[in-house]
């Protein structure tokens, strides 16, 4: 079965000696009935002609941010929304630098900055340019923004030098794109459903005061977004958060731990539940109906445990999800405590999170976690943007779901 047929790919061709290889890639895609649109940067025209690209792609070549022939549409928006996937090749050191600081000075960079689709960068440059600290730091930044890299590989350069920086072959790119869509098609056909909890909860003492924590909900939002982007029907149940709603993602807003538990129960059954929310462990035994006054001689605040949502999901035999994923926010003995939590809660995966650090975790844009899987696999995701962390966790969850289904069959 051809899983590329009718797929829409936007190919952005940049200025580099490897630009000529884009013609072979276009030919491979057209053989598989791929709908392809192309963008040529100004410098790309020094290596391939618009006529060659148009002849092979059977379509218009876009090259101008201000298209006087089509003033009713904004190409940088319409092209990015049209595509199922965006590929950029050869991705030069110059383009990597521009994207890392959010420059949008031509059609190509404006499309990439405005895009809401997966973007695959295919680097090609001199070995010294690739290994330079500036380029490597820029690449790390782009990975944190959610860009995907394919290559480069080591080999002989056009300049006569040898080492990493050579663009992967069109055939290799083609095969990787086939794998990309194959996985997405499987996930789509499986019609997986996920519940993700995020943010803090509030346990009210009186009508205006409450017990809560510093959680922003960012990590949960990013995991939900990554799962949703990969074709998993995702419901995000969020405690109080200042984060903006995500288009295309169903968000259920709650305040207390009890409200969050009710929402989780409402949306069961699900294939996977990801508990990133920092749910309060305790709540007042009694909520005062009016504001507690200073002069009321209020000496004792009696607390009781809240319902444990992760524990409920892990041990709920009737509607237990295929995968239950928990977060373990620890200040000491990170791995040991997290493994114990996974066992006690009967979860399948636990994400160990060191909240004692000031540079990651609660209310920060960056995180560093260790993924502990009940299958025995453990791996660390080093400090990076929460968007990247979310994508890696989502990939692992989907791989586990597919593996579980394969084993059952």
d(CA 76, CA 224): 26
Query: Which residues, in sequence order, are CB contacts of 284 under 8 Å at separation 6+?
Result: 203, 204, 205, 211, 301, 302, 303, 304
Mean pLDDT of 203-224: 91
pLDDT at 72: 46
Q: Where is 124: in which H helix or E strand?
A: none
pLDDT band for position 156 (50/70/90)?
A: confident
Give the predicted TM-score (pTM) of the model.
0.76
CB 404 within 8 A of CB 396: no
d(CA 409, CA 190): 13
Residue 357, both tokens: 């650090």
Residue 377, both tokens: 């696999």
CB 166 within 8 A of CB 131: no
**Each residue's pLDDT tens digit, 303-322:** 999 999 999 999 987 889 99
In a 13 Å sphere around the CA of 46, the CA atoms on its Cβ side amount to: 8
Average pLDDT score over the chain: 89
pLDDT beyond 80 at 302 = yes
| Closest to 122 measured CA to CA, from 41, 21, 38 | 21
Q: Which listed CATH number (3.40.50.450, 1.10.3720.10, 3.30.160.270, 3.40.50.10300) goes with 191-408? A: 3.40.50.10300
Mean pLDDT of 79-95: 92
| Closest to 225 measured CA to CA, from 196, 260, 204, 252 | 196
d(CA 38, CA 79): 9
Burial of 249 (0-12, 13-18, 19+ CB in 10 A): middle
Could you tell me whether strands 303-305 and 323-330 are parallel, antiparallel, or unpaired per DSSP bridges? unpaired
Task: Look at the chain and count its residues.
Answer: 409
pLDDT band for position 69 (50/70/90)?
A: low
Q: 8-186 architecture in CATH?
A: 3-Layer(aba) Sandwich (3.40)
In a 13 Å sphere around the CA of 176, the CA atoms on its Cβ side amount to: 16
Question: Where in the chain are the domains?
Answer: 8-186, 191-408
d(CA 241, CA 199): 6
d(CA 390, CA 146): 9
Fold match between domain 8-186 and domain 191-408? yes
Specify the 3-state DSSP secondary structure of 149. Answer: strand
Q: Where is 191: in which H helix or E strand?
A: none
pLDDT band for position 56 (50/70/90)?
A: very high
Cα torsion at 382, 387, 391, 396 (round to 10°)?
Answer: 50
Find tokens 């009710």 and name the residue.
Answer: 262
Mean pLDDT of 271-282: 94
Q: Where is 183: in which H helix or E strand?
A: helix 170-190
As beta bridge partners, residue 403 has none
Phi, psi of 214 (to 5 degrees): -85, 5
Identify whether 275 is a catalytic site residue.
no
**Each residue's pLDDT tens digit, 17-28:** 999 999 999 999
**Each residue's pLDDT tens digit, 349-392:** 999 988 888 888 787 888 899 999 998 889 988 888 888 889 89
Find tokens 């259920």 and name the residue.
Answer: 252
d(CA 309, CA 217): 16
pLDDT at 151: 86
pLDDT beyond 50 at 168 = yes
**Each residue's pLDDT tens digit, 278-288:** 999 999 988 88
CA 138, 143, 145, 150 dihedral sign is positive
> Of the listed 14, 139, 159, 275, which one is catalytic?
159
Burial of 291 (0-12, 13-18, 19+ CB in 10 A): exposed
Q: What is the DSSP letter of 318?
A: T
Could you tell me whether strands 153-156 and 378-385 are parallel, antiparallel, or unpaired per DSSP bridges? unpaired
pLDDT at 141: 86
Cα torsion at 392, 393, 394, 397 (round to 10°)?
Answer: 130
């Amino acid at each position: 079965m051809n899983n590329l047929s009718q797929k829409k790919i936007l190919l952005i061709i940049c200025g580099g000696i490897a630009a000529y290889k884009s013609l072979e890639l276009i030919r491979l895609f057209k053989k598989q009935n791929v709908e392809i649109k192309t963008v040529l940067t100004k410098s790309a025209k020094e290596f391939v002609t618009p006529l060659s690209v148009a002849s092979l792609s059977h379509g218009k070549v876009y090259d101008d941010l201000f298209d006087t022939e089509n003033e009713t549409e904004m190409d940088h928006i319409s092209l990015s929304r049209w595509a199922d996937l965006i590929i950029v090749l050869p991705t030069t050191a110059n383009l990597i630098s521009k994207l890392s600081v959010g420059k949008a000075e031509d059609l190509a960079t404006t499309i990439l900055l405005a895009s809401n689709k997966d973007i695959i960068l295919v680097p090609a440059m001199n070995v010294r340019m690739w290994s330079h600290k500036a380029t490597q730091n820029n690449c790390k930044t782009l990975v944190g923004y959610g860009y995907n890299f394919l290559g480069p590989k080591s080999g002989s350069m056009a300049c006569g030098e040898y080492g990493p920086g050579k663009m992967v072959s069109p055939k290799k790119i083609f095969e990787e794109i086939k794998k990309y869509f194959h996985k997405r098609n499987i996930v789509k056909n499986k019609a997986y459903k996920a519940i993700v909890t995020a943010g803090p909860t509030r346990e009210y003492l009186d009508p205006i005061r409450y017990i809560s924590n510093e959680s922003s909900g960012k990590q949960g939002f990013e995991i939900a977004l990554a799962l949703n982007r990969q074709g998993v029907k995702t419901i995000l149940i969020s405690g109080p958060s200042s984060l903006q709603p995500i288009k295309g993602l169903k968000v259920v807003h709650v305040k207390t731990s009890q409200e969050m538990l009710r929402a989780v129960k409402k949306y069961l059954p699900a294939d996977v539940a990801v508990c990133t929310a920092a749910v309060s462990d305790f709540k007042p035994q009694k909520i005062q109906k009016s504001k507690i006054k200073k002069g009321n001689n209020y000496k004792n605040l009696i607390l009781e445990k809240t319902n444990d949502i992760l524990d409920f999901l892990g041990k709920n035999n009737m509607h237990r999800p295929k995968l239950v994923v928990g977060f373990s926010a620890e200040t000491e003995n990170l791995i040991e405590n997290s493994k114990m939590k996974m066992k006690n809660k009967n979860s399948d995966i636990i994400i160990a999170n060191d909240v004692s650090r000031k540079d990651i975790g609660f209310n920060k844009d960056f995180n560093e976690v260790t993924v502990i899987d009940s299958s025995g696999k453990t791996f660390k995701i080093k400090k990076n943007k929460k968007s990247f962390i979310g994508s890696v966790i989502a990939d692992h969850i989907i791989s586990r779901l597919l593996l579980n289904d394969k084993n059952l069959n």
